[in-house]
Amino acid sequence: MTVALFFLFLILFLTYRLADIQLISTTSFSKYQVNLIQESVDQRTHRFTINDGRGYFLDRDGELLSTDVRAQVIVFPNLYSSRWPIESVASILNLPTSNFTKKISELKKPSVLTLPKEISIEQMNEINKLEIPGLYAQLVTKRNLTPFANHILGAVGQDPDLIKRKYEDKLKKGTVTLHTKTGKNGMQYTFDPFLISEGETEYIYHVDRQGQPLFGLDVKFRSQSNPLYPLHVKTTLDKNMQEAVEETLDAHGVAEGGAVLIDIETNELLAMSSRPLFSSKTIYKHVDHMTSQQIPGSVFKIVTAAAAIEENKIQNNKLYNCNLNIYGKKDERQLGMLNIENSFTQSCNKTFGDLANELQKTDLEYMEKYAEKLGLLTHNGWQGKVYHLESFSHFYKEEVGQIYSSKKKSSDYKSPLATSQTAIGQLDVKVTPLAVANMMATIARGGVSYEVKSAKSVNFANGTELIKFEDHEKEGEKLSPYTVMRLQSLLMNVVKDEKGTAHALQALPFQVAGKSGTAQKGGDHRFNNKWFAGYFPAEKPRYALVIIDLKHDTVNRTIPVFRDIATEIMRETDS
């Protein structure tokens, strides 16, 4: 009896399971909400995607970024027959007939034919005139596996949960599926609402259980119904300058760090690169070092100098004992007695520690006040309302800077030593390289600060503008013109003076202004943060450039990297 009941319940369960699959949950089977009907159709469908329908990026001059569009020959091998005019096709492709036949026989599914060289548009049109079922020539769009401008542009991938959460309306309308690719990081993520595919362009045909084409069904061409899509984003990036930055970082062995290059006149991002590059396996573990907090070291002395100038604390005839460090002990560099200007040029820590303590007596919040004026504590990337997106941002997960840690009490920063450490960009001071680059652009421009743009516009497929990103001047207090002028002079002397920490840049055929910095990282004593932040040409500023090496040991890579990038940029500009 027990065995009979067991088999009865088993049969009932299997009957219910079969009914669930065949009749009840055909469009939302299991906790994964699988559409069984669609999956069944997909199993019987062979397809070749010509264009995934996702929007794309252009550089400032209209060149495609991280995407290739090439004329290619697509073959559906199951449709190959003796009726194909093999000789004619081989002649168009400049191939021996036997070679062409062999290439087709090696294909197991719809694929691009591997050819010795890329075909021309003329060859593509000649092949299509033959009207061969199963042989087509098309402009095929291919996304580069390792995207150009890796961190700033970002990558795409499948994320069904994000589709359900973010694009519920599109999912219901059928314009996207759970398999539609979305941005994972970088501008692919921030601009995803404009880039997400509205439908693929593809060749499809249906097959039977054995994989043979169903009789009477031809290969169908399916494309987006809206000719204005896909949209494209015209970025501010300069492809040649971005390549120069990438190649120079690699040539000098910058394993961790990167560079930011800004056009001073327009405050647009021309190039940005972070090392190491991410791969498909490390997208979620990886951060863009250029938009995340880093310890600035002596680059932060610009803030202390600005405060001292603005608060009238500078006396040029007053000398500071630069044979000592901020701990009152003998400094290894033994710089002697220096005034403030020479202290900035040679990067004397003792001077700026003493200055900070003097400033602290009259204004306990001066540090944050002047860091704020120089834009180091706020977002520096373009932000604003775009249609229904209330706080649209050009930069992915951009962090803001900090002077003090929220995990500590304010009393922890009141000692003279803590004040000195903060004044030279140590202790808990952290800023982003993007913010430092924007600070240099602001100083070079005379004190007016703007948000950094990474995109000029979002356009329809025919080039018509959908959105234009206007300039955003940053709000808040600004430094006085006199203070900015003094800062410009200090930054120029760092390079012009033979004892300056960046005097090696004197050899360039144009003048550079800037500030070097070395920051101890605390936890990892093997490496320091090494910076050089500057702008050029100093007498008529056009570019702000920041280099950071987060694994600085005994080799100073930042100055040579700055030199080589600046040289190449000026060559590009003058050519």
Which of 295, 331, 351, 302 is CA-nearest to residue 552?
Answer: 295
What does the DSSP 8-state code read for residue 479?
-
Copy the structure tokens of residue 4. Answer: 């009979």
| Cis, bond preceding 276 (omega within 30 deg of 0) | yes
pLDDT of residue 214: 56
List the chain domain ranges. Answer: 68-143, 239-278+287-574
Distance, in Å, from the CA atom of 375 to the CA atom of 299, rounded to the nearest integer, reads 14
Distance, in Å, from the CA atom of 96 to the CA atom of 99, rounded to the nearest integer, reads 5
In whole angstroms, what separates CA 387 from the centre of its chain?
Answer: 23
Copy the structure tokens of residue 480. Answer: 């006085």
Residue 394 backbone dihedrals phi, psi, to 5 degrees? -75, -25
Please check whether residue 234 is in contact with residue 459, taking contact to mean a CB–CB distance below 8 angstroms: yes
Please check whether residue 376 is in contact with residue 399, taking contact to mean a CB–CB distance below 8 angstroms: no
Query: What's the distance, Cα to Cα, between the start and end of the chain in Å?
Result: 94
Report the CATH architecture of 239-278+287-574. 3-Layer(aba) Sandwich (3.40)
Distance, in Å, from the CA atom of 559 to the CA atom of 332, rounded to the nearest integer, reads 22
Which of 286, 220, 298 is CA-nearest to residue 258?
Answer: 286
68-143: CATH topology: Penicillin-binding protein 2a (Domain 2) (3.90.1310)
* In 237-348, alpha helices (H): 239-251, 301-310, 340-346
Distance, in Å, from the CA atom of 336 to the CA atom of 343, rounded to the nearest integer, reads 10
pLDDT of residue 37: 44
Cβ-defined contacts of 176-181 (< 8 Å, 24+)? 177/38, 178/33, 181/52, 181/54, 181/156, 181/157
Please check whether residue 563 is in contact with residue 505, taking contact to mean a CB–CB distance below 8 angstroms: yes
Which of 561, 568, 564, 562 is CA-nearest to residue 253?
Answer: 561
pLDDT of residue 6: 67
Copy the structure tokens of residue 496. Answer: 């012009």
Distance, in Å, from the CA atom of 568 to the CA atom of 510, rounded to the nearest integer, reads 12
Angle between helix 349-362 and 366-373 (nearest 10) = 110
Distances from the Cα of 263 to the Cα of 29, 152, 395, angstroms? 54, 16, 17
Residue 566 backbone dihedrals phi, psi, to 5 degrees? -60, -40
Residue with tokens 């497929």: 461
Distant-in-sequence, close-in-space partners of 246: CB < 8 Å, separation ≥ 6: 149, 273
Angle between helix 301-310 and 349-362 (nearest 10) = 50
Copy the structure tokens of residue 532. Answer: 């050089």
pLDDT of residue 38: 46
What number of other Cβ atoms are within 10 A of residue 188's Cβ? 26
Please check whether residue 135 is in contact with residue 78, taking contact to mean a CB–CB distance below 8 angstroms: no
What is 19-43 written as a DSSP string?
HIIIIISSSSBTTTTB-HHHHHHHH
Distance, in Å, from the CA atom of 435 to the CA atom of 437, rounded to the nearest integer, reads 5
Catalytic residue numbers, as ranges: 298
Torsion of CA 353, 357, 363, 369, to 10 degrees: 10
* In 85-200, alpha helices (H): 86-92, 97-105, 121-129, 150-153, 160-166, 168-173, 186-190, 192-195
pLDDT of residue 553: 87
Copy the structure tokens of residue 534. Answer: 């500057």
**pLDDT of the chain along its 575 residues, tens only?**
676 666 666 676 666 666 555 555 555 545 545 454 444 444 556 677 888 889 999 999 999 998 888 899 999 888 888 889 999 999 999 999 998 889 888 888 889 998 988 899 999 999 999 999 889 999 888 877 666 788 899 988 889 999 999 998 888 888 888 889 999 999 999 999 999 988 888 888 766 655 555 555 577 877 777 888 899 999 999 999 999 999 999 999 999 999 999 999 999 999 999 999 887 777 766 789 999 999 999 999 999 999 999 999 998 789 999 999 999 999 999 999 999 999 999 999 999 999 999 999 988 889 999 999 999 999 999 999 998 898 999 999 999 999 999 999 888 898 999 999 999 999 999 999 999 999 999 999 999 999 999 999 999 999 999 999 999 999 999 999 999 999 999 999 999 999 999 999 999 999 999 999 999 886 656 789 999 999 999 999 999 999 999 999 888 999 999 999 999 999 988 87
Sign of the torsion angle spanned by Cα atoms 542, 548, 549, 555: positive
Distant-in-sequence, close-in-space partners of 100: CB < 8 Å, separation ≥ 6: 86, 89, 90, 93
pLDDT of residue 198: 83
Coil/strand/helix, residue 64: strand
What does the DSSP 8-state code read for residue 343?
H
Copy the structure tokens of residue 341. Answer: 């200007």
What number of other Cβ atoms are within 10 A of residue 364's Cβ? 14
Sequence length of the chain is: 575
H/E run at residue 558: helix 558-574
Which of 228, 205, 262, 225 is CA-nearest to residue 451?
Answer: 262
- Decide whether 68-143 matches 239-278+287-574 in CATH topology: no
Which of 126, 106, 114 is CA-nearest to residue 72?
Answer: 114
Compute the chain's Rg from CA coordinates.
31
Distance, in Å, from the CA atom of 204 to the CA atom of 313, rounded to the nearest integer, reads 75
Which of 222, 179, 164 is CA-nearest to residue 39?
Answer: 179
Distance, in Å, from the CA atom of 274 to the CA atom of 278, rounded to the nearest integer, reads 9
